[in-house]
Amino acid sequence: MRYATKFRLVVASVAVLAAVSARADTLRETVLRQAALDAGLILAEDTHVDVPPALVAVGKLLFETKKLSLERDIACASCHLDRFGSTDGLPNAIGTEGRGEGVNRLMGGGDIIPRNALPFWGRGSKGFDVFFWDGRVDGRAERMISQFAGEEPSTDPLVVAVHLPPVELGEMLLNSAGNETLQRETVESANQVYSQLEQRLREDPIIGPALARAHGVARSELRFVDMAEALAGFIRHNFRLKPTRLHEFVFGSGGLTNDEVEGGLIFYGKGRCAMCHNGAYFTDFLFHAIPFPQAGFGKNGFGVDYGRYNVTLDVADLYAFRTPPLYNVTKTAPYSHSGALYDLSDIIRAHIDPLADAKSIPSDKRQRAEFYKVLKRWSASPVAGVVLSETDIDRTVAFLNTLEYKSDEPVAAEE
C-alpha cells in the first residue's frame, strides 16, 4: 500500500512538472507573439498594393529585357535572380559588360558597382517608400528626396527609383567614350537616355503593344515613365510580402521549433535587434552606422563609403546606411552595404561586437582611421553593449529562417 501511494505521488509529480513545462512553453510563445505584434508585424496581405495584371505582365518583360539598357548590355534580372533571393550573390554588383551569374559573373569582368545589390522583397508596398542603401529616393516627407531634385518624373517613390539604374554609369549605362556627354549624370543627360529607350521600347513588337494596352494609350503616346510604372508594378506584385512561418505562428496556428522561439525572444529582447528591425518589413527605414568591413573600393573610393552623407551632405549622416529589411535574409548573402560578410552569424557578431574578428579591422592606415570613425558612431547605437553567446547567435539565425517565402514568378534575363 505504501509503495502504491509512493507510485501515485511520483506519477502526480511528473504530471505537475509536465503541466508546468507545457505552460512555460506556451508562455514563451505568447510572449514572442505579443513582441512581434508590438514591434509592428502585420498580416502580409495588409501591405499589398493592387496592380493591374496587364501591367504586371509587361513589367516582367521589361524586368527581363536587356533593351532597357542603352547598349542592350544588361537587364534588371541580370543582377536580381531567384537563386540568390532576388540579389546576385556577390559582394559588389557587376553591372555593364558583366557576363554570367554569381561567381561566374565576378570572374567574367564587367563594371563593378561599389555596393551590394539589394533584394526586392516588399519594395513599393504600403509604407515602403525609401530606396537604396543611402535612401537617395525617399518618399516619406511631403517633398520627395531624389537625385531629380524637384523634377521627379512621378509622385510614386518606387517609379522614381526605377528611373535611376538605366542612367547610372556602370550599372546599366556603359561608361565608355561614346557616352562622354552622359557622364555628367544630370537630369538633362538622363532625359536623353530615357528618350532613346522609350523610342526603342515603343517600337518593340512585343513590349510596345502590350505596354500600350496596359496603359490604354496609343503606342506613339508611350513615355519612359509608362515603362517605369510597369516595371514598378511587376516588382510590387512579384516580390510582395507573403505569409511566412512567422506570420503563421503569430496570426494562425503554425508552430516554431524551440530554437526559433528562443531566437525570436532574443531578437525582440536582449539582442535589441527589433529596435531597428521592426515594423511590417523588419526595418525602421532609418540610417545607422555599423562598422562592417569595407569590401571593394567603396562609393567614395579608397575603400571608403560615406553612406547617407552622400545624399544629405549632413555630417551627422556619415557612414550611415538604411536598416535593411529581413525577409528572405537567409537567401541574400553576402551582407551589409559592402557585401563583406557571407554568414548571418558573422553579420550579427559585427553588429554587437565589431572587434571580435581581428580580420575585420583594416590593415591599411587610411581605412583603419575610417573604421575608427564608424566605430565611434556605432558606440551610440542601440546594439552597442549587447552581449550574445554563440548559442544566442545560432538561435537568432534560426529565428530569421522563419522569414522565408518565394516570389510568384521566377525571372531570368533574356539571352
pLDDT tier at 24 (50, 70, 90 boundaries)? low
pLDDT value at residue 414: 79
Between the CA of residue 404 and those of 246, 254, 401, what are the distances in Å?
9, 14, 6
The per-residue pLDDT for range 163-200, each reduced to its tens digit, is 999 999 999 998 777 777 777 778 899 999 999 999 99
pLDDT tier at 138 (50, 70, 90 boundaries)? very high
The helix/strand/coil state of 356 is coil
Phi-psi region of 295 (alpha: psi -120 to 50; beta: other; left: phi over 0): beta
Q: The cell 515613365 sits on which residue?
A: 225
For domain 53-238, give its CATH number from 1.10.10.10, 3.90.1150.10, 3.30.70.2700, 1.10.760.10. Answer: 1.10.760.10
Segments making up each domain of the chain, as ranges: 34-47+243-403, 53-238
> Comparing 272-276, 279-283, 359-363, 395-399, which segment has the lowest mean pLDDT?
359-363
Asked if 236 contacts 252 with a C-beta cutoff of 8 angstroms, the reply is no
CATH topology agreement for domains 34-47+243-403 and 53-238: yes
Residue 28 has pLDDT above 80, yes or no: yes
Q: Average pLDDT for residues 314-329, to the nearest whole number?
A: 97
* E runs forming strands in 79-141: 130-131, 137-138
Task: Specify the CATH class of 34-47+243-403 in words.
Answer: mainly alpha
pLDDT value at residue 16: 38
> Comparing 22-36, 81-95, 245-259, 382-396, which segment has the lowest mean pLDDT?
22-36
pLDDT tier at 25 (50, 70, 90 boundaries)? low
Between the CA of residue 129 and those of 157, 224, 283, what are the distances in Å?
6, 21, 12
The pTM of the full predicted model, rounded to 2 decimals, is: 0.91
The per-residue pLDDT for range 42-74, each reduced to its tens digit, is 999 999 999 999 999 999 999 999 999 999 999
The helix/strand/coil state of 87 is strand
Q: Percentage of the chain with pLDDT > 70? A: 93
pLDDT value at residue 49: 98
Q: Average pLDDT for residues 198-219, to the nearest whole number?
A: 97
The per-residue pLDDT for range 324-348, each reduced to its tens digit, is 999 999 999 999 999 999 999 999 9
The per-residue pLDDT for range 269-308, each reduced to its tens digit, is 999 999 999 999 999 999 999 999 888 889 999 889 999 9
Residue 5 has pLDDT above 90, yes or no: no
Mean pLDDT, the chain, integer: 91
